[in-house]
Amino acid sequence: MKQLLEITNLSVEFASKQGALKAIEDVSLTIGEGETVCLVGESGSGKSVTSKSVMRLIDYENGKIAGGSIWLDGDDLTRLPQKELRALRGKKMAMVFQEPMAAFDPVFTVGIQIMEVIIQHKQGNRQQAWERAVHLLQRVGIPEPEIRMKQYPGEMSGGMLQRAMIAMALACGPQLLIADEPTTALDVTIQAQILHLLQELKAEFNMSILLITHDMGIAAEMADRIIVMYAGQVVEQATVQQLFTKPHHPYTRGLLRSITTMESDRSSRLFSIEGTIPPLSDLPAGCRFHPRCPYATERCEQESPLLQLVNERLTACWHAEELVQREEWQPQAGT
Ligand code: SF4
Ligand code: MG
């Protein structure tokens, strides 16, 4: 498989009152052409920072790339000036968010905003942009697209606006679509429809998808590969099959348990792992998961585990191998 996106040892810092905080550290991942990769982890794990770094949106949020590279189809995105990035955004890579109002400006009609993307990237004149926008709205399942073109974002329902945002993201046929929790705010039925739509569009537009979710059920359904993040680092990277049949990292195990927890009680805590993710200003020494890990040893408190190949997947845990040998994986019992 040809790689489309290659992130290597990416570190990102944010300026804060306490000084520079590292939001992600040494993150490496790849996405092949036509592949869907899911980034999973609790909020605060660095998923959104990773994806916004690809779009270089962190530049607008006091963030800066402190190290590493992000290659997308021949360009190192960490080195490009904003002017050149603007030309790539929309055309080579596009993003959809949890909150569609973040993508739309409330004072312009939905149609104008989609047309603007097409015109700015010189993909057509006004007439062509209008026609393409109508076509895209129709394709994402919006009835009476000509009428919807003239509506303002506030006049559409959440699910409808989500579809319109996807249409806008696809306006210039990006090779990479980044979707950050695209369905979290929607009810379950519409959520399923939107995910199905993304899958169809991926094949139709020949795209790769980087999908960010905290929902392992969605990851199971959508992903070819899953990347698990914790406290700004990648802790496991595996195919869906590998991850669900034999999760190696104790954190991944906890995440998988959260599916059953959520199904039985949607209002209950999202994660079955005791404790909370540490703040960036106060990261524990050694393995960042050690304060919450039932398998932590003295070594874990002192030395930070490297991401390494264990049983054909990457995992960052000193004890992953012995843990897997010792215990059969069972989603319900134990840890
Ligand atoms: Fe747990 Fe130690 Fe593995 Fe970290 S390195 S996940 S603390 S066993
Ligand atoms: Mg997020």
pLDDT digits (tens, 9 = 90+) for 150-167: 999 999 998 999 999 999
Query: How many angstroms does the Cα of residue 227 sit away from the middle of ligand 2?
Result: 15
Query: How many angstroms does the Cα of residue 180 sit away from the middle of ligand 2?
Result: 7
Does 18 have pLDDT greater than 50?
yes
What are the Cα distances from residue 199, in Å, to 41, 132, 244, 310?
22, 21, 21, 30
Which pLDDT score is estimated for 188?
Answer: 87
| CA-CA-CA-CA torsion sign (49, 38, 290, 278) | positive
Q: Read off the pLDDT band of 260 (50, 70, 90).
A: low
Query: How many angstroms does the Cα of residue 315 sit away from the middle of ligand 2?
Result: 22
Instruction: Note the pTM of the prediction, 2 decimals.
Output: 0.93
Does 4 have pLDDT greater than 70?
yes
Highest mean pLDDT: which range of 51-60, 276-285, 298-307? 298-307
For the Cβ of 323 lying below 6 angstroms from any atom of ligand 1, the answer is: no
Q: Is 74 within the bounds of a domain?
A: yes
Does 331 have pLDDT greater than 80?
no
Among 59-63, 145-149, 326-330, the range scoring the smallest mean pLDDT is 326-330
Higher pLDDT, 184 or 88: 88
Q: Read off the pLDDT band of 332 (50, 70, 90).
A: low
239: CATH: 3.40.50.300
Q: Which residues contact 75 (CB under 8 A, 6 or more apart)?
A: 88, 92
Q: Is 148 within the bounds of a domain?
A: no
**Nearest ligand for residue 307 CA:** 1
Which pLDDT score is estimated for 101?
Answer: 85
Q: pLDDT tens digits for 230-254?
A: 999 999 999 999 999 999 999 999 9
Q: pLDDT tens digits for 63-112?
A: 999 999 999 999 999 999 999 999 999 999 999 998 888 889 999 999 99
**Integer distance in angstroms from the first to the last C-alpha of the chain?**
35
Which pLDDT score is estimated for 268?
Answer: 43
Q: Is 113 within the bounds of a domain?
A: no
Q: Is 244 within the bounds of a domain?
A: yes
Q: pLDDT tens digits for 203-223?
A: 999 999 999 998 899 999 999
Which pLDDT score is estimated for 154?
Answer: 95
Domain hosting residue 30, numbered range: 3-92+174-326
Which pLDDT score is estimated for 41?
Answer: 93
For the Cβ of 273 lying below 6 angstroms from any atom of ligand 1, the answer is: no
Which pLDDT score is estimated for 196?
Answer: 94
Does 264 have pLDDT greater than 90?
no
Q: Is 226 within the bounds of a domain?
A: yes
Which pLDDT score is estimated for 162?
Answer: 93
Q: pLDDT tens digits for 24-37?
A: 999 999 999 999 99
Specify the residue with its C-alpha closest to ligand 1, atom 6: 317
Return d(Cα 107, Cα 120) in angstroms, integer: 19
Q: Read off the pLDDT band of 269 (50, 70, 90).
A: very low
For the Cβ of 44 lying below 6 angstroms from any atom of ligand 1, the answer is: no
Smallest CA-to-CA distance from 13 within 29, 32, 2, 27 is with: 27
DSSP 264-316: H-TTS-S--SSS-PPPGGGPPSSSTTGGG-TT--HHHHHSPPPPEEETTEEE-
For the Cβ of 130 lying below 6 angstroms from any atom of ligand 1, the answer is: no
Strand residues in 155-266 grouped as ranges (E): 176-180, 208-213, 225-230, 233-239
% residues pLDDT > 70 (the chain): 95
**Nearest ligand for residue 248 CA:** 1
Q: Is 31 within the bounds of a domain?
A: yes
Q: Is 299 within the bounds of a domain?
A: yes
CA angle 160, 224, 180 (to 5 degrees): 35
What are the Cα distances from residue 89, in Å, to 20, 66, 117, 120, 183?
27, 21, 10, 11, 22
Pocket test for ligand 1, best of 233, 236, 295 (most atoms within 8 A of CB): 295
Q: How large is the greatest C-alpha to C-alpha distance in the chain, in angstroms? A: 67
Pocket test for ligand 1, best of 230, 234, 297, 317 (most atoms within 8 A of CB): 317
Does 334 have pLDDT greater than 70?
no
Which pLDDT score is estimated for 335?
Answer: 45
% residues pLDDT > 90 (the chain): 79
Among 117-121, 161-165, 253-257, the range scoring the smallest mean pLDDT is 253-257
Q: Is 287 within the bounds of a domain?
A: yes
Specify the residue with its C-alpha closest to ligand 1, atom 5: 317
Sheet of 19-32: strand order equals 19-32, 3-16, 63-72, 75-76
Q: Which residues contact 234 (CB under 8 A, 6 or more apart)?
A: 27, 28, 29, 227, 228, 307, 314, 316
Alpha-carbon Rg of the chain, whole angstroms?
21
**Nearest ligand for residue 180 CA:** 2
Q: Which residues contact 266 (CB under 8 A, 6 or more apart)?
A: none
Query: How many angstroms does the Cα of residue 105 sit away from the middle of ligand 1?
Result: 45
For the Cβ of 295 lying below 6 angstroms from any atom of ligand 1, the answer is: yes
Return d(Cα 225, Cα 206) in angstroms, integer: 17
Domain count, the chain: 1
For the Cβ of 235 lying below 6 angstroms from any atom of ligand 1, the answer is: no
